[in-house]
C-alpha cells in the first residue's frame, strides 16, 4: 500500500490520539477519589512509588515514574511542606537527595487503599483485556 500523506494526517489514523485520549480519561477517573485526599494524580503515583519502597533518591523516583527532576522536585517540595515526606542530602554525595515518608505519608496509604479497586470498576475492560493492554503499553514505553 502506497503512503498517502492526506490519509496519514487524518486524526482517525493517529495511534497517538487514542492513547492521549485514553490517558486523559484514565487520569480523570482518579480525580474524584484523589480530591478528598488533596492529591493530584502525579502526587498519587509518586506516593505509589514510595509506599512500595521508601527512602529512595530523587533520581530513583524519576526513573520509576519516567519523569524528569524538574517535574518531580516541585511535587516533593509541596508534599514535604504538607508533612508527608522528608528530603535529605546523602552524606556520601551532597548532589544526591533521599526521600523518606513521614508517619503522615505512610498513613495516607490506608486512605488510598481502595482507589485502585474503585477506579478499576470505572473501566469497561474485562481483566484479560486490561492485562493485554498493560502489556502492549509497556511494549511502547520500553521501546528504545
Q: Are 46 and 62 in contact (CB under 8 A)?
A: no
According to DSSP, the β-strands at 56-57 and 85-89 are: unpaired
Cell of 93: 554525595
What is residue 41's predicted lDDT score, i.e. its pLDDT? 96
If you search the block for the grid coordinates 556520601, which residue do you land on?
92
Q: Are 56 and 49 in contact (CB under 8 A)?
A: yes
Q: pTM for the complete prediction?
A: 0.89
**Distance from C-alpha of 76 to C-alpha of 54, rounded to nearest angstrom:** 13
pLDDT band at 121, cuts 50/70/90? confident
Give the residue with greater pLDDT, 107 vs 118: 107
pLDDT digits (tens, 9 = 90+) for 56-110: 999 999 999 999 999 999 999 999 999 999 999 877 777 789 999 999 999 999 9
Burial of 87 (0-12, 13-18, 19+ CB in 10 A): middle
What is residue 130's predicted lDDT score, i.e. its pLDDT? 86
Amino acid at each position: 500500500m502506497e503512503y498517502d500523506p492526506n490519509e496519514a494526517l487524518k486524526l482517525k489514523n493517529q495511534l497517538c490520539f487514542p492513547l492521549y485520549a485514553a490517558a486523559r480519561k484514565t487520569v480523570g477517573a482518579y480525580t474524584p477519589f484523589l480530591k478528598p485526599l488533596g492529591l493530584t494524580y502525579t502526587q498519587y503515583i509518586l506516593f505509589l512509588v514510595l509506599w512500595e519502597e521508601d527512602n529512595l533518591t530523587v533520581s530513583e523516583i524519576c526513573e520509576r515514574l519516567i519523569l524528569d527532576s524538574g517535574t518531580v522536585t516541585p511535587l516533593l517540595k509541596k508534599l514535604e511542606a504538607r508533612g508527608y515526606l522528608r528530603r535529605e542530602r546523602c552524606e556520601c554525595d551532597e548532589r544526591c537527595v533521599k526521600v523518606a515518608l513521614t508517619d503522615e505519608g505512610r498513613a495516607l496509604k490506608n486512605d488510598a487503599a481502595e482507589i485502585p479497586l474503585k477506579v478499576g470498576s470505572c473501566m469497561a475492560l474485562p481483566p484479560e483485556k486490561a492485562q493485554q493492554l498493560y502489556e502492549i503499553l509497556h511494549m511502547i514505553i520500553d521501546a528504545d
